[in-house]
């Protein structure tokens, strides 16, 4: 059950509501780049598995590792991006839910 598209989402099982995670623009762009690099490896892995060679799992694992690394590991080069996102959150105010 969704009460407000931006605010809460039901987990479907017990009716509890939780805040919806917000994807920031820079996070979406970096994820898209990671997927662009991981997609050829994943495709090759699937083709290799369909050909009957179990080494396709290595390529699928490599593709999953690329995306997981991008999502969960923070590098020193990511610090300026995090600072820019924090500054944007401070400057730009979210619209009130009552105004919609």
Name which residue leads in pLDDT, 62 or 87.
62
Closest CA to 24 of 69, 74, 84: 84
Phi, psi of 45 (to 5 degrees): -65, -45
Residue 95 or 90, more confident? 90
Range of the domain at 49: 23-92
Q: What is the pLDDT of residues 6-63, one digit of tens each?
A: 545 555 555 566 665 566 777 788 889 999 999 999 999 999 999 999 999 999 999 9
Residues in the chain, how many? 100
The token pair at 59 is 């390529």
Determine the average pLDDT of the residues in 64-83.
Answer: 82
Domain assignment present for 38: yes
* Domain-located, residue 97: no
**How many domains in the chain?**
1
pTM of the predicted protein model: 0.56
98 domain residue, yes or no: no
The sign of the CA dihedral 21, 25, 27, 32 is positive
The two three-digit tokens of residue 38, written as one number:
């991981």
Q: Within a domain: residue 36?
A: yes
| H or E segment and range at residue 10 | strand 8-10
């Amino acid at each position: 059950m969704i009460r407000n598209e931006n605010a809460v989402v039901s987990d479907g099982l017990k009716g509890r509501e939780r805040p919806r995670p917000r994807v920031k623009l820079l996070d979406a762009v970096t994820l898209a780049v990671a997927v662009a690099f991981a997609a050829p490896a994943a495709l090759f892995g699937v083709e290799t598995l369909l050909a009957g060679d179990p080494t396709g799992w290595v390529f699928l694992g490599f593709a999953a590792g690329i995306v997981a690394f991008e999502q969960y590991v923070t590098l020193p080069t990511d610090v300026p991006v995090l600072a820019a996102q924090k500054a944007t959150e401070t400057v730009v105010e979210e619209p009130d839910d009552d105004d919609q």
